[in-house]
Amino acid sequence: MSYLAHQESRVSLISWWSDSNPGLQGPTINLHTVAKPLMKWMYYRQAVDIIKKHRGRPLSVETLEIYSSYLPLNYVSWATKVAIWAELADRTTSQDDARAVVDSHIFPYLVQMLWSPDPGPRTTKIRTLFGEAVYALAQIARRTEGAQAIVEAKALNHVLKLLESPNPDIRGWSSQLVGRLASHELTALAIRELKVGERLMSLLQDDSQVVEWGTFALSQITERLDDAKAIIDIKAAGNILNLLESAGPNVQKWTCELVGTLADYESTAPAMWELNACEPLLSLLRTDNPQATEWAVGALSRIALGFDGAQTILNAKAMDRILILLESPIPKIREYTCVLVGHLATHESIAQTILKLKPCVRLVSLLEHAYTGVIQGAMDALCRIAKWEDGAQAVVDAMVMNYLPTSLESPDSGVRCWTCRLLGNLASHRYSAFAVQNLKPYARLVSLLRDPDHNTLDGAIFALDVISEWPVGAAALADIDCSALEELRDDRSVDLETQVQAHSILKNIARNKARLTT
């Protein structure tokens, strides 16, 4: 039986007498008038007790049915409904509980809250009720299934209106909801069609929490080129950069992410250079906040992929400070700094300046780090440096070859991939090619052609293709079982480039054999 269902009770003599004499004058009261607020209070206590009883347990169908039975009734107080929405908002941070809410009868009630008129400046009670519902939906939207359910419930037009709510809490939570929906590939298109960029930009001078979630939402929607261009088109990039000076750490985080994304695209990157985006990011490297440094280095690493961005960083004369960060006690800062150095070294003219600062010894020392991300970042940087002849020599001189046999056996696919590519780049230059020949990595590279990770396979075949160009390398490969190469050459399910590379390696081996027999 529902918790709110009517239950038979004994007839009260006083109640019967009072109701039977409505015209009686004297010390009488309307018992129904007294009962309604008492009933609301009792329902509130009952709901809170149920919530406490089930806290710490997974949400069940029965529990959600009980919660949903309170929601449609007018004589259940706002406080009861707020308690339920707040409980669901907390619970939906769990994947299993979020799925249970989406699959239950309570989910339509939650979505219907968006269809209610915005409470605006009305009572705090109504605003709190409305806000908790929006916040709960934002938590549900953290996962793809929940985001899809919200979109399928046709709630997006209502979300758009909430971004203009006079209530800052609702504006903030609605921004969070938009950002969550935009972060999933399956629901991002629906958000893109709403063209929310301009509305979100208008929130960047709002209350601190609204700004935080507004920048989060913008960082998610600009992952798509059209939305990134829209931000530039409304000439709002300057406002974004001003947020890097914000005292709020989360605002700085999402602003760094947003700046990095805008720098990723050829069509939006020039606006970043015109506004000198690197300067406020580089200033964050000098703060005492390690998180701000981490986010800034991450954004700078994305900026450095483009030549103009890399040149801007170099012109700022910040390389000494950047290289010091390779010794940071924070693993993520070390990882992102490695990636930044590697991206800078991608550009030949800038790589020469980087090499003068002798970063290779520091980078090689990081191959012993306990954190896999740091090892990946260091391998990435060394690989990019080794693309250039002077860089390859510097990498070998830093004793990197001592670490490569272990790295080829790493359980981490990213480390294996970058090690293969580093060997390929080293084999491309005469001086460093001798170091590769002395290492004799041939059998291990051939075995990685059957690696389940596609990127590792790509790295291995790239290295073997370069190695087979050298007579010594081709001769060494001739003594190894290369059936994996034949399989890749003949397999029509693999990409054409891999087939061509496999054919090229086999051809080089055969040509070298023919040369030796004549």
Give the whole-angstrom CA distance, residue 297 versus residue 295.
Answer: 6
Q: Taking a C-beta distance cutoff of 8 angstroms, is the pair 442, 477 a contact? A: yes
Q: Report CA dihedral (206, 208, 210, 211) to the nearest 10 degrees.
A: 80
CATH architecture of 34-194: Alpha Horseshoe (1.25)
Sole residue written with tokens 């707020």: 82
- pTM more than 0.75: yes
Instruction: Return the exposure string of 482-512: e unless at least 16 CB atoms fall within 10 Å of the residue's CB, then b.
Output: bebbeebbeeeebeeebbebbebbbebbeeb
Q: Taking a C-beta distance cutoff of 8 angstroms, is the pair 494, 508 a contact? A: no
Q: Burial of 295 by CB count in 10 Å (0-12 exposed, 13-18 middle, 19+ buried)?
A: buried
Secondary structure of 9-77 as H, E, C letters: CCCCHHHHHHHHCCCCCCCCCCHHHHHHHHHHHHHHHHHHHHHHHHCCCCCCHHHHHHHHHHCCCCCCC
pLDDT by residue for the chain (518 residues), tens digit each?
455 554 455 545 445 545 555 554 445 445 555 566 777 888 888 888 999 998 888 889 999 999 888 888 777 887 888 888 888 888 888 888 989 989 998 888 888 877 665 555 444 555 567 778 888 899 899 989 999 999 988 878 788 888 888 888 888 989 999 999 999 988 988 888 888 888 888 888 778 888 899 989 988 888 766 667 766 665 666 777 788 887 688 888 888 998 888 888 888 888 787 778 888 899 999 888 899 999 999 999 999 999 999 999 999 888 999 999 999 999 999 999 999 999 999 999 999 999 999 999 999 999 999 999 999 999 999 999 999 999 999 999 999 999 999 999 999 999 999 999 999 999 999 999 999 999 999 999 999 999 999 999 999 999 999 999 999 999 999 999 999 999 999 998 899 999 999 999 999 999 988 887 76
Give the whole-angstrom CA distance, residue 32 versus residue 30.
Answer: 5
Q: Burial of 133 by CB count in 10 Å (0-12 exposed, 13-18 middle, 19+ buried)?
A: buried
Radius of gyration of the chain (CA): 32
Domain residue limits, the chain? 34-194
